[in-house]
């Protein structure tokens, strides 16, 4: 099996766990909104909104650092694993302790009532447990154990979903006599109705603990020990990655924070700014199809890139991978953008959400460029110049803020979508140009650029010409999608997904 096919195979395995896990998680949203009042569910939303940032702080780039140093010539992977996990263990205990001690004042900063202090404590424990799984999971990826990685991830997700359903749906139904009243004495011992929304956090906490336990083999193979001389180069490599990750979170989430603040009153007649945010957020989720592909690819690609770093043919391999990754994502971009009406009918149950569908193609293309950026970023990771990632990410964050400030008052949530696209396009192009100087790779840039232009033109044509008849409109969109697939097949058919491909 060629290196590219092996990467594609592992990406598929990671993709299954990502897709199934995300679908199961989405299944809980209607459960929560039915069981809890908006004020209660707002506590969940408020606390989880900051988890993405705190996760970056808790792991501070050590996963990528582990891959980089594990693939250096003569690296002692066992010692590296033990030292890295030891460092993460110490920092996790310290950070978790700080969050627990400061739970009450932190809730005040987040404008969440102080009586929910125990929720903040549980969230701190969840962050700590998840951080401790980072290096064991990274080791599984390094050892190409994609199936074990995916299985453990799925078990944790399923446990979280089942516990949520048990405490939020089954237990109240049993206690009220609606279902299985004979189980009331047993359920009464396990269930406290006054806890309410707290079971969301408890279920997550249990699932995180179970995930850590399922990694027992990797944890038993760990020997605690800190060596500052050994860890110093790791930290020097890692801290720019942490800053890059924080900047990435700004680029990914800030638009939904800025939109209600900078959207003029009555911009959308009869709708509040929060309604506009809801529409934008719901339509943003339709770009998840691109996000899932990128996430699965990253799981497989990061250790793969480092393992190929010493191969003399690695530049050609990296170019080949970027080409097929981009073409696959272009197919997703065209297919979803032209047929989003059918997809939206399944995912967006209320008609009011459909008015925001125009942002979906823009966000899909934006995430495509984000995936291209992840591919291109291999150069500064392999050359130990991770600070360039910080500069690029910070530049993207600044551009995101400036464009949202300028475009939201004029274009509303369409301005936020355009800002996201501009940010990720700029990051990809800047990373490519810098990479040409520091780590030349023969990427087929012109070829890929033409394919993306063709894909964008087809999508624009499909949205510009909208037949009124339902059947004609769908036949038109399906025809454009098939035309793009046929063009790809005819042009790229002589090229084989192998290391011997001629570019």
Provide DSSP, 449-468: HHHHHHHHHHHHHHHH---S
Instruction: Report the pLDDT averaged over residues 429-455.
Output: 92
Query: At residue 3, does pLDDT exceed 60?
Result: no
**Concatenated DSSP letters of 473-493:** HHHHHHHHHHHHHHHHHHHHT
Cα–Cα distance measured from residue 366 to residue 20, given in angstroms and rounded to the nearest whole number: 23
Cα–Cα distance measured from residue 257 to residue 241, given in angstroms and rounded to the nearest whole number: 24
Instruction: Report the pLDDT averaged over residues 259-263.
Output: 81
Which two three-digit tokens encode residue 290?
Answer: 């691109």
Query: At residue 139, does pLDDT exceed 60?
Result: yes
Q: For residue 423, what pLDDT is reported?
A: 93
Query: At residue 37, does pLDDT exceed 70?
Result: no
Cα–Cα distance measured from residue 174 to residue 180, given in angstroms and rounded to the nearest whole number: 6
Secondary structure of residue 138 in the 3-state scheme? helix
Instruction: Report the pLDDT averaged over residues 363-387.
Output: 89
Instruction: Report the pLDDT averaged over residues 459-466.
Output: 88
Query: At residue 497, does pLDDT exceed 50?
Result: no
pLDDT band at 1 (very low <50, low <70, confident <90, very high): very low
| 8 A C-beta contact, residue 385 and residue 308 | no
Cα–Cα distance measured from residue 133 to residue 123, given in angstroms and rounded to the nearest whole number: 16
Query: At residue 501, does pLDDT exceed 50?
Result: no
pLDDT band at 500 (very low <50, low <70, confident <90, very high): very low
Q: Could you identify the residue written with the tokens 């059947």?
A: 471
- Geometric angle at alpha carbon 62, from 394 and 151, rounded to 5°: 115
Query: At residue 180, does pLDDT exceed 90?
Result: no
Give percent above pLDDT 70 in the chain: 85
| 8 A C-beta contact, residue 2 and residue 498 | yes
pLDDT band at 232 (very low <50, low <70, confident <90, very high): confident
Q: Could you identify the residue written with the tokens 């089942």?
A: 162
Cα–Cα distance measured from residue 121 to residue 101, given in angstroms and rounded to the nearest whole number: 9
- Geometric angle at alpha carbon 285, from 470 and 39, rounded to 5°: 120
Please indicate whether residue 176 or residue 102 has the higher confidence score (pLDDT). 102
Query: At residue 296, does pLDDT exceed 80?
Result: no
Q: For residue 244, what pLDDT is reported?
A: 78
- Geometric angle at alpha carbon 122, from 118 and 128, rounded to 5°: 145
Using a cut of 0.75, tell me whether the model's pTM lies above it. no
Cα–Cα distance measured from residue 467 to residue 475, given in angstroms and rounded to the nearest whole number: 10
Cα–Cα distance measured from residue 302 to residue 288, given in angstroms and rounded to the nearest whole number: 21
Cα–Cα distance measured from residue 194 to residue 384, given in angstroms and rounded to the nearest whole number: 52
Q: For residue 110, what pLDDT is reported?
A: 61
Count of CB atoms within 10 A of residue 335's CB?
A: 21
- Geometric angle at alpha carbon 308, from 234 and 333, rounded to 5°: 100
Cα–Cα distance measured from residue 150 to residue 44, given in angstroms and rounded to the nearest whole number: 26
Length, in residues, of the chain: 503
Query: At residue 363, does pLDDT exceed 90?
Result: yes
Instruction: Report the pLDDT averaged over residues 90-103.
Output: 92
Instruction: Report the pLDDT averaged over residues 6-16.
Output: 60
Q: For residue 457, what pLDDT is reported?
A: 94
């Amino acid at each position: 099996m060629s290196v590219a096919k092996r990467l594609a195979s592992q990406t598929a395995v990671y993709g299954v766990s990502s897709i199934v896990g995300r679908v199961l998680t989405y299944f809980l949203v209607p459960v929560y909104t039915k069981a809890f009042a908006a004020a209660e569910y707002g506590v969940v939303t408020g606390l989880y909104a900051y988890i993405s940032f705190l996760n970056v702080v808790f792991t501070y780039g050590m996963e990528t650092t582990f891959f980089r140093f594990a693939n250096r010539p003569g690296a002692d992977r066992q010692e590296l694993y033990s030292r890295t996990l030891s460092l993460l263990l110490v920092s996790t205990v310290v950070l978790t302790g700080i969050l627990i001690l400061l739970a009450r004042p932190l809730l005040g900063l987040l404008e969440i009532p102080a009586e929910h202090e125990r929720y903040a404590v549980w969230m701190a424990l969840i962050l700590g447990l998840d951080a401790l799984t980072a290096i064991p999971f990274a080791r599984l990826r390094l050892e190409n154990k994609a199936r074990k990685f995916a299985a453990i991830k799925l078990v944790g997700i399923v446990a979280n979903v089942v516990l949520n359903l048990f405490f939020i749906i089954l237990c109240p139904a049993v206690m009220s006599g609606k279902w299985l009243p004979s189980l009331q004495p047993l359920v009464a011992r396990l269930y406290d109705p006054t806890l309410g929304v707290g079971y969301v956090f408890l279920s997550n906490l249990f699932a995180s603990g179970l995930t850590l336990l399922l990694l027992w083999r990797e944890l038993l193979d760990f020997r605690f020990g800190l060596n500052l001389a050994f860890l110093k180069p790791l930290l020097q490599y890692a801290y720019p990655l942490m800053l890059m990750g924080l900047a990435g979170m700004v680029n990914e989430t800030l638009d939904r924070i800025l939109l209600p603040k900078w959207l003029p009153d009555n911009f959308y007649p009869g709708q509040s700014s929060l309604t506009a945010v809801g529409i934008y957020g719901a339509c943003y989720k339709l770009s998840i199809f691109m996000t899932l592909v990128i996430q699965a690819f990253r799981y497989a690609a990061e250790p793969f890139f480092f393992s190929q770093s010493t191969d003399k043919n690695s530049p050609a391999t990296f170019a080949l991978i970027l080409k097929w990754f981009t073409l696959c994502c272009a197919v997703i971009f065209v297919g979803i953008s032209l047929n989003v009406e059918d997809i939206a009918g399944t995912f967006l149950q209320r008609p009011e959400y459909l008015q925001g569908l125009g942002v979906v193609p823009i966000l899909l293309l934006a995430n495509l460029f984000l995936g291209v950026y992840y591919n291109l970023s291999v150069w500064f990771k392999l050359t130990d110049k991770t600070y360039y990632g910080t500069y690029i990410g910070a530049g993207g964050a600044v551009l995101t803020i400036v464009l949202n400030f300028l475009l939201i008052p004029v274009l509303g949530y369409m301005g936020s979508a355009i800002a996201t696209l501009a940010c990720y396009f700029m990051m990809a192009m800047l990373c490519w140009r810098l990479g040409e100087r520091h780590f030349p790779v023969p990427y087929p840039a012109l070829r890929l650029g033409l394919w993306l232009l063709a894909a964008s033109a087809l999508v624009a044509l499909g949205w510009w010409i909208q037949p009124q008849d339902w059947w004609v409109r769908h036949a038109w969109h399906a025809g454009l999608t098939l035309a793009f697939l046929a063009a790809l097949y005819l042009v790229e058919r002589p090229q084989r997904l192998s290391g011997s491909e001629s570019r």
